Amino acid sequence: MSPTATVRPTVPASRRPPAPGGGDATDVRHRLRAALRHAAPALLGYLAVRLCGLLVLAKWVHVRQHGVWPTLATSWDSGWYLGIADHGYDDSLGTGFNNNSLAFFPLYPVLVKAVAGVTPGSRATVGLLLAIAFSFVAAWGIFAVGDHLYGRRVGFLLTVLWGVLPVAIVQWMGYTESVFTAFAAWALYAVLNGRWLWAGSLAALAGLTRPTGIAVAAAVSVAAVLACRGRRSGRRAALAGALIAPAGWLAFVAWVGLRLGRVDGYFAVQKLWRNEWDGGASTLRELRQYLLYMTKPQLFLVIVSVVLLVSVGLFLLCIAERQPLALLVFTGMLLLVVLGSGGVYFPRARFLLPGFPLLLPVARALARARSATVVALLLAAGTLTSAWLGAYMLLVWRGPP
C-alpha cells in the first residue's frame, strides 16, 4: 500500500462539499446546503465547546474586573494586526528587537481594513468577528477532511477535538490562527479530491496569512507533483497548482525584501524578533529546563512543553497509520518550522494549533470506542480543561498566548 492510500467510506455526492467550479449555480447551492446539513452536528459540537470556553473566560474576567471584548480583540499580537490595518507596515528595518511590523503577514489585516471600511464596527470588532467566522470555516474544513478519509463520526470527533485543544481560545481572538487553519484545511481537502487549482490557490492564501503557510504550500506542491507521475489527464492542473501554492508566501517575502532594499529583508526582520533557525537546539534546551531542571516551572510553559512532546508522538502515529502524503507533509513541515526555530518558546503551542491532522489518530481511537458514555465524558473533560486553560492563559500568564 502506498503512503497516500487510505480506506474510506463512500460519501453520497449530495453530502459532499460542492466541488469548486463544478455545476450551475442552483446545483452548487443545493449541494452546499446538503453539505452544510451533513456537517451541522460537527459545527454545533464545535460551537458548544467554544461557548463553554467563552463562558468560563467571561466569569473569570468579571471576577478580575476586566472586559471580555478587549481581552479577545486587542490583546498582544492583535494590536500589531490592528496597527498594520490602521497605519500600514514599517518602511525600514531598524535595530530594535521585537519591534517591526514586517514580521506579520498581510492577509488578515488587509481583510480587517477592507471589511471595516464597509461596516459600522471598529476594526478591533471586525478583526474579532472575522476570526470567529473563519473558525467555523476552519471547523467545516476539518470535518470535511476527517469525513472524507474515515467517515462522519471521525469528522465530528476531529472537529470537536480541535475545539478543545489547550490553547483553543485563540481561535476566537483577533489572531490569524483561525484564518490560516481555514485555508489549510480546505486546501488539504482539495488535494484529497484532486482539485489542484483550488488547492494551490488556497495554499497561496495561507501563505499570505502566516509564516507557516510554507507548510501548506509544500503539502500541495509535493502531492501535485507526485500526482503527475504516470498520468496525463489533469497533469496541467496539478502542475499549475504546484506552482501557485507557494506564490503567496514567496510574494510577501519578496515584497519585504524590496521594501527594505535587501534580498534577505524578511529574514533580517525575523532575526530582530530572535526567530532564527537553529535545528531545534533551543527547543530541546527549553524542554529540559521546564520538564527536568526547574523545580517550580510556570504552568503555562509546562503546558507548552507537553503539547510539543505530544505533537511529536502524534505525528509518529500519523506516519504509522499511513495518512495521505499531503497531510503528513503539512504536519511534518509545521513541526519542523515550529520545533526547529530558535525564537520565543511560549507561543509554540499556538503555532501548532492549525495542525489538526495530528488529531486524527485520537479521533479514530475515540470513534472505535464501544462506550459512547466514555467518549462523552472524555470530551466533556477536555472541554472543561480547555476552558480553564484558556482563561488561565489570558488572565494569569503574564505573556502572549
N residues, the chain:
401
**Predicted structure pTM score:** 0.93
Q: Tell me how far apart the alpha carbons of residues 215 and 159 are, in angstroms, rounded to a whole number.
A: 21
Q: Tell me how far apart the alpha carbons of residues 229 and 232 are, in angstroms, rounded to a whole number.
A: 8
C-alpha cell at 45: 459540537
pLDDT for res 395: 93
Contact 164, 145 (CB under 8 A): no
DSSP secondary structure letter of residue 292: I
Of 135, 138, 154, 156, nearest in space to 39 by CA: 156
Termini Cα distance of the chain: 41
Q: Tell me how far apart the alpha carbons of residues 281 and 367 are, in angstroms, rounded to a whole number.
A: 37
pLDDT for res 95: 85
Contact 228, 239 (CB under 8 A): yes
Query: Mind listing the pLDDT tens digit of every residue in the chain (401 residues)?
Result: 344 444 444 454 445 566 555 557 788 889 999 999 999 999 999 999 999 999 999 999 988 878 899 999 999 999 999 999 999 999 999 888 888 999 999 999 999 999 999 999 899 999 999 999 999 999 999 999 999 999 999 999 999 999 999 999 999 999 999 999 999 999 999 999 999 999 999 999 999 999 999 999 999 999 999 998 867 778 999 999 999 999 999 999 999 999 999 999 999 999 999 888 899 999 999 999 999 999 899 999 999 999 999 999 999 999 999 999 999 999 999 999 999 998 889 999 999 999 999 999 999 999 999 999 999 999 999 999 999 999 999 999 988 89
Q: Tell me how far apart the alpha carbons of residues 300 and 401 are, in angstroms, rounded to a whole number.
A: 9
For the beta carbon of residue 109, count every other beta carbon within 10 angstroms. Answer: 23
pLDDT for res 187: 98
Q: Tell me how far apart the alpha carbons of residues 290 and 306 are, in angstroms, rounded to a whole number.
A: 10
Q: Tell me how far apart the alpha carbons of residues 278 and 343 are, in angstroms, rounded to a whole number.
A: 9
Q: Tell me how far apart the alpha carbons of residues 121 and 363 are, in angstroms, rounded to a whole number.
A: 38
pLDDT for res 17: 67
pLDDT for res 7: 43
377-to-8, 183, 224, 383 alpha-carbon distances in Å: 27, 31, 41, 10
pLDDT for res 2: 40
Q: Cell 496569512 belongs to which residue?
A: 209
pLDDT for res 230: 66
